[in-house]
Amino acid sequence: MSHPDSDSLAESLVALMSTQQEQSARVARILHDDVNQVLSAAGLHLDLLRMEFEKAAPGVAAKTAEIQQLLGQAIEQLREISYELNPAIIERAGLAFALERLGARFRRHHQLNLRVEIDPRVRVPLPLANAFYRIAESALDNAAQHASSAASVELILSGSPALARLEIRDDGPGFDPTAVRAGLGLLSMRHYAARAGAEWQLLSETGKGTIVTVWSHQPSP
């Protein structure tokens, strides 16, 4: 049973996180729409410059090509940052693609032994998809912080026409949920689920890993 004070604190924390996410989304749009366009235009000008010097000054052309390559890497990193700041990719490409990218990010930055399994038939409405994404992000972040590098992690999106289900499990050290005060990660997962009208469950035991599950019954078509 939750305590009223902890519920109030959780709601305040989640409200603060929502504000931060709105600000992050704004920054992401600026990076993607404005800064990215400027860098792309610079890349085109460099390409023209390289072609102009290709015969007259091969050395300059080669250096220009190197700068182009560095600029391309910067543009790609910028895209990654904008996606991390704002998972609007869910709206454009769907939850499955967004979860695949999320998994790739955690593998790259945290060296997680992570397997992502997506049922492509699962269709999740946008508000629930956003909640699934944020819960997956928090659960993976917890796994990255508390599981050893040798631990395996699974992110599974499954379901049926009547049910959408997301599960994140790891075989890390686990913990006793009754003996540990819920941190921001657990509180935010619970409230993301509640706001989306979904059910949420945490199962963990010392020495036996952790399983986070969130699910929602789908309305009939």
- Per-residue pLDDT at 1: 44
- Asked whether 135 and 200 are in contact (CB, 8 A), the reply is yes
- Per-residue pLDDT at 17: 60
Determine what percent of the chain is predicted with pLDDT higher than 90: 21
Torsions phi, psi of 95, nearest 5? -65, -40
Q: Which fold has domain 94-217?
A: Heat Shock Protein 90 (3.30.565)
Q: In the predicted model, what is the mean pLDDT of residues 199-211?
A: 90
* Spatial distance between the Cα atoms of 67 and 106, rounded to a whole number of angstroms: 29
* Spatial distance between the Cα atoms of 78 and 204, rounded to a whole number of angstroms: 37
Q: Is the pLDDT of residue 194 over 70?
A: yes
Residue 21 belongs to what H/E stretch?
A: helix 4-30
* Spatial distance between the Cα atoms of 167 and 148, rounded to a whole number of angstroms: 19
Q: In the predicted model, what is the mean pLDDT of residues 59-70?
A: 86
Q: Is the pLDDT of residue 109 over 90?
A: no
Residues 24-43: tens digit of each pLDDT:
666 666 666 677 778 888 88
- Per-residue pLDDT at 44: 87
3 state DSSP class of 174: coil
- Per-residue pLDDT at 215: 95
Among 213, 217, 211, 221, residue whose Cα is nearest residue 197: 217
Residues 79-105: tens digit of each pLDDT:
777 666 656 678 778 899 889 989 988
Q: Taking the CB of residue 135, how many other CB atoms lie within 10 A of it? A: 25
Written as six digits, the tokens of 210 are 């952790």
Q: Is the pLDDT of residue 208 over 90?
A: no
pTM above the 0.75 mark?
Answer: no
* Per-residue b or e along 183-216, where b marks 16 or more CB atoms closer than 10 Å to that residue's CB: eebbbbbbbbbebbebebebebeeeebbbbbbbb
